[in-house]
Amino acid sequence: AQSVTQPDIHITVSEGASLELRCNYSYGATPYLFWYVQSPGQGLQLLLKYFSGDTLVQGIKGFEAEFKRSQSSFNLRKPSVHWSDAAEYFCAVEKGNTGKLIFGQGTTLQVKP
């Protein structure tokens, strides 16, 4: 069965510092990979996705993610964090194009002024 692991439950960074959120997946073939962000009390917003092609994916709000097949990882990065980036971030995997989207447990990002 496919699974998604986000090893960091909670991360705190200073405003202006760089950010990397980790995501590892377990799946036999190349999955479709997503990063979503959720602000408190809100729904989920798609930051970026990967399903083929260039392994470095650019998303909205200055985020990017890199797919590394050898490490089964899809880590999210941002070079300079803003206070408004404080939220919960979810990595998700879809097996093929089946409509079956599986989420990691989420990482809560806190931004210090």
Contact in structure between 48 and 60 (CB atoms under 8 Å): yes
Q: For another protein, give the closer residue by CB, 39 or 80.
A: 39
Contact in structure between 20 and 7 (CB atoms under 8 Å): no
Of the candidates 84, 101, 71, 97, the residue with the CA atom closest to the CA atom of residue 42: 84
Residue 63 phi/psi, 5-degree rounding, is: -85, 150
3-class secondary structure, 105: coil
- Name which position in 28, 40, 53, 99 contacts another protein (CB under 8 A): 99
Site string for another protein, 66-95 (x = CB under 8 A): ------------------------x-x-x-
Site string for another protein, 7-36 (x = CB under 8 A): --x---------------------xxxx-x
Interface residue list for another protein (CB under 8 A)? 4, 6, 9, 31-34, 36, 42-46, 49, 51, 90, 92, 94, 97-106
